[in-house]
Amino acid sequence: MDRPNTGDHAAFYDRYVDLVNDEPILETLEKLKTSTYDFFCSLTNEQANYAYAPGKWTIKEVAGHLTDAERTFAYRAFAFSRGQSELPGFDENEYVEKATFNTRTLQDLAAEFKAAREANLYMLRSLTEDQLNMVGAANNANIKINSILYIMAGHELHHLNILKGRYGV
């Protein structure tokens, strides 16, 4: 599976794709499944409830957001591979606001993320080269399925970098 090219997705996603190394993307997603789970499980309850500024997400909310995004990106890949041509975008802030992430343990949120990734990997591994090259529109922008896999990994890395840089964990 080749790395996405410019134009395979909206330019906004370049910042995520650029964070992904040259290792095969399915291997990257598999490794991140475990390392992200382990990272969240290593944090204390006090850290889990921390937000670095007023109005910013807690670490629990970041973990929940990663699962929301995981499901959204995977659904896009699934739907486009089955011939769906267009899907709406999603408002991540509204999703987090309406969720109950802060009432749960970080370990529970981490386990949910790991389970969602594991289920998605089964589907992603089953995609053919032709399916990976299919294009759909999400949030009014064309995107190739192959790009979605890189965006999934890069989005996760982006938030892990923020947690390490701004949250100090």
In a domain? residue 5: no
What is the domain-level CATH number for residue 152?
A: 1.20.120.450
Q: What is the pLDDT of residue 1?
A: 81
- Cβ atoms within 10 Å, residue 84: 15
Domain that holds residue 160: 11-165
Instruction: Quote the percentage of the chain above a pLDDT of 90.
Output: 98
Model confidence at 168, pLDDT cuts 50, 70, 90, reads: very high
Q: What is the mean pLDDT of residues 141-168?
A: 98
Task: Decide if pLDDT at 122 tops 90.
Answer: yes
In a domain? residue 40: yes
In a domain? residue 68: yes
State pTM to two decimals: 0.96
Q: What is the pLDDT of residue 151?
A: 98
Number of domains within the chain:
1
DSSP 148: H
pLDDT digits over 39-96, tens only? 999 999 999 999 999 999 999 999 999 999 999 999 999 999 999 999 999 999 999 9
Task: Decide if pLDDT at 22 tops 90.
Answer: yes
